[in-house]
A and B are shown apart, each in its own frame.
Chain A
Amino acid sequence: MLNVIDYVPGTTILHRLNPVTKLALAASIIIATILSDGYAALIALLLLTLLLGVYAGTATRLFSLLKVLVPIAVLMLVLQLAFVRHGDPVILFATTDGLVSGTKACLRLLGVALPLVLVLTVTKTTDLANACVEKLHIPYKYAFTFTTALRFVPVFTQEMNAIMEAQTARGVEFDSKNPFRKLSLMLPVCIPLLVTSVGKTDATALAAEQRGFYLRTRASSYRRYPFALRDAVCGALCVALIVAGIVL
C-alpha cells in the first residue's frame, strides 16, 4: 500500500530543486497563507500548491489527502459558525461574520497542510535530512529521528492492518458500521502495536549504532547539495510570496 507522503520519482524542476529550497518554498506558502486575509489570496495560494502538485505529477496524492482534510475543514467551519456570534444572522445559528471567518479558517487549514506534503512527495527523505544537516547545520541526530519517524509510518500502518485483520478473523467487529464502536474496539489493539513498536525502535537503534551512527558528522554525507541558479530564482519567489501575503 502506498502512502500519501511517499516519494514520487520524477525529473521536474520541483524535483531537482535543493531540498532546503523546497522547504523554504513550502514554508513561504504557509507563512503567506497565514498572513494574507483576502479570499483571492487564500484561494490563489491553494491553487498554486495544487498546480505545483499537478506539474510534479503528485496531484493524485494531494487530492487523496484533500479527501481526508475536507471533512475536518467542514467540522471547523461548523465550530466557527457556532462560536462566532456577532454579525447579521443568515440561517439557524450562522451569522455573516461566522461564515467569513469560518470559510477563511477552512482555506487556511488546507493551505497550511498541503505544501509540506507536496515537498515530501517530491523529495527523498534521506536527501531532505542530509541537505538540512549540510545547509542548515541541523544535528544529524534530529535529522535521523525525522527520517526514521517517516519511515516507520508505513511499517506501523502495515502492522496495524495485520493486527486488525487478525482480530477481525477472531470475530472482533471491526467491520461494524458504527464509527464509535469501531474506535472503542481499536483501543485494546494498541497494546500489541505498542509492544512491537518499542521492540522495533530498539532493534533499529542497535542496527544504526552497529553501522557507525555515532561517527557521523556533517561532512559524512556522500552526496552534496549545492545551491543552483534555480534555487536562487525560487528563493526570490519565496520572498515575493511572503510580501504578497502581507499586502493582500
Chain B
Amino acid sequence: MQPIIEMRDVSFAYGHDAQNALSNITLSIPAGSFTGIIGPSGAGKSTLAAVLSGAIPHHFTGSLYGETIVDGTDTCDMTLTDISRIVGSVNQDIDAQMVASVVEDELLFGLENFGVAHERIEATIAAALDAVGIADLRDREIATLSGGQKQKVAIAAILALAPGVLVLDEPTAALDPVSSRMVFDVLRDLNEHEGITVVVIEQKVALLSEFCNRLVVMNEGSIALEGTPHEVFGHATELRAIGVDSPRVARISNSLTAKGLCTAQEPCLSVEEAAELITSIVTGATPSKPVTSPEPRTARPHAKDAQPVVRFHGVCFSYPDGGASVNNLEMTVYPGELVGIVGQNGAGKTTATKLLNGLLKPSSGSVTVAGLDTRDVPVSQIARHTATLFQNPDHQLCKNTVLEEVAFGLELAGVPRGEAQQRAARVIDRFGLPANEAPFALSRGQRQMIALASVVVLEPEVVILDEPTSGLDYRECMTVMETVREMAEQGSAVIMVCHDMEVVSDFAERLVVMADGCILASGPTTEVFNDAALMKRARVKPPQVVELAAQLARDVSDAYAGITEVSGIVDATARLARADVREGSHA
C-alpha cells in the first residue's frame, strides 16, 4: 500500500530541551490502514501525533530534524491549514477542541472556513453526523452532552472536512468501556467504508488488539516494536520490560506456550481465539475424573467484630438541576476492605463518593464515616478521616514544591509543620519523587503519584479513589494499585470507582454494582463478575478472563467456573491436559 504519511529519520526536542522527545523515527502510515500507537507515558506518543498532524513544526516550537512527508509534500513546506486538509486531528482535551456552543455550529466552523460551497454544506453536515451516529444531537448544546457524545461531535467535525487521515490522541481516556468501544466502532466503520486512514494513540490494549491492523509500540522517543497486533503481542517479555500491558487472553496463550502445553504460535487476541486454543489443548474430550476446581481467592480477613468504618443507610440524593441522582443506597465497608464500585457513566458512582467524603449531604438517610454523621460535621472535619484521590491530579495540586504539597494535607489536619514535613519526606522518598521540584513541571503520571503520596501520608481510615488509573500507563497503574492494596492491608478501608474492569478484578475483593442511581447488587468480585444477567443489567462488560472462564466452563469443563485470573486459567488448563494425558496412557 502507498504510504500517505511518511516520517524519515525524524527527531524533535521541545524548546530548549536538550533531550529529544522523539529520536530517529522512521515510520510510514499506509493509506487505508488502522494504526494504533501505544507506549508508556513520556514515550513520545503525543509528540508523534503532533508531528503527523503538522502541529510540529507549525504550532509547537523546538528543534526538528528529518522530514515528514504528507501526501507527497514535506510538512515544513506547507501551512498548518493546508496540512489539515489532509490530516484531521482530534486532541486529548475534548472541551478545548470545541469552538462553538451548539453541535451544528461546531461542524459548520470548519466547513465555512474551508469555503465548502454553501449548497453542499447541508448534505455534508447530515452525512458527517450520520457517519458517527449522532444525527439526533444536531441542535443540542455541547455543554449538555456526555463525554462519549462530545468525542463523537469532535470526530464528526473533523470528518465533515473529508480528511484522508484521522489522527486521534487518546480519544477514549475519559470514557467508560461501553462508550470507548462505541468510539472505536465508529473509527472502524470510517476506516472500512470511507477508506479513511486512522492513527490512534491509546492505552487500552484490548481495544487496540481488536480494532487495529497495525501496532506501533513506542519507548523513550523511539519505535520499539511495529507490526500486526499478533506479531506485537507475541513479544510479551519485551512489552513488559517497556511497561506496556498485553491483553489478558494474550497472556494466557503466551503462558500456555511457555508451559509447553501448546506449540509456539501467535498469541490469542480475543476471547474466542483463546477459547478455541484451550478447547483444542484439552483435546475436546472431557475427562471422566472430576477435576477439583481451584480454591477461590479468599477475601482478606477483616477483624470479625470490627465496627464498619463507612455506613450508608437509605441514602437518597438528587441534584437540583438534574444529573446523576442516587436512591436508597445501603452499603457498609469494614476496615481493611478493598471495595470496587462499578457501573456505567451516569450510574451515580461519583455521586456516591461525594456523599462519602461529605462534599454532598444526603437529602434523606444517613452516611456515617468513622463514626461521624456527614450531615453534622463540616467537610474539613471528615477530611481528617478520609482521603480522596481524584481522577485529575491537577485539581488537588496547589503548592510550589512536591514536599510542601505532600505535607499540606497533614498540616491541614493539624500536624505540626516540622513533623508533617518529616513524614512527607519519608513517603516522597519511598515513591522516588523529586522533593524540591514544582509539581506542575512534572509529567502527568508523576503528578498522579504526588497526589497518591499526599493520600498515603495521611494514613487515613477511609481511602476514596475516583478513577485512580485513568491516563496512567500500565506500570504507573500497577504502582498506584499496589500502594492502595498495601494501605488496605494496613487497615484502611478502600472504596474505588474504576472503569478498568481488569484492575477491578485484580484488586477489589468486593464489588458494588450500580445502575441508574441504585445499587443493583453487592458481593465478592468473582461472584458478581460471573453473574451474567447482573452484568448485562448494569451494562458492564466483565473482564476478558471472566468471559473466557464462563465460556470454557460451559463448553469444556466445570473446572473453569469462577476463575478471574490469568494464572487460574493456565493452571486449570494444565491440570486438565495432564489428566487427559494420564488417562490416555492408562488406556
Contacts and interface: CB of A to CB of B under 8 A. Distances in A.
Interface stretch (B24-32, B200-208, B246-254, B377-385): B377-385
A84 B552 CA distance: 89
Given A154-B143, A203-B93, A222-B111, A124 B395 contact: no
A170 B394 contact: no
B96 A207 contact: yes
A168 B379 contact: yes
B81 A215 contact: yes
Interface in B188-227: none
A214 interface: yes
Nearest to B108: A222
B401 to A, nearest CB: 13
A209 B80 contact: yes
Given A170-B408, A210-B80, A211-B99, A216 B113 contact: yes
Contacts of B354: 165
B394 A207 contact: no
Given A169-B383, A171-B384, A175-B379, A210 B112 contact: no
Nearest to A3: B143
Which residue among B79, B387, B392 has the maximum number of chain A CB atoms within 10 Å of its CB?
B392
B413 interface: yes
Given A171-B409, A189-B398, A210 B53 contact: yes
A214 B398 CA distance: 37
B285 interface: no
A171 B91 contact: no
Most central of A125, A200, A209 by chain B CB within 10 Å? A209
Interface string A157-176: 00100110111111111111
Interface residues of B, number: 65
B91 A168 contact: no
Contacts of A2: 321
B398 A192 contact: yes
A195 B115 contact: no
A91 interface: no
Nearest to A203: B96
Nearest to B440: A195
A210 B383 contact: no
A210 B84 contact: yes
A131 B109 CA distance: 15
Nearest to B412: A171
B341 interface: no
A211 B379 CA distance: 45
Contacts of A147: 100-101
Interface in B136-191: 141, 143, 157-158, 161
Given A124-B102, A167-B395, A192-B440, 13 more contacts: A7-B101, A7-B141, A144-B99, A147-B100, A165-B359, A166-B388, A168-B379, A169-B396, A192-B398, A196-B394, A203-B97, A208-B99, A210-B53
Interface of A: 1-2, 6-7, 124-126, 144, 147-148, 151, 154-155, 159, 162-163, 165-176, 188-189, 191-192, 195-196, 199-201, 203-216, 220-222
Closest 10 CB pairs of A and B: A212-B113, A171-B383, A203-B96, A171-B412, A211-B110, A166-B395, A166-B396, A210-B84, A220-B112, A200-B96
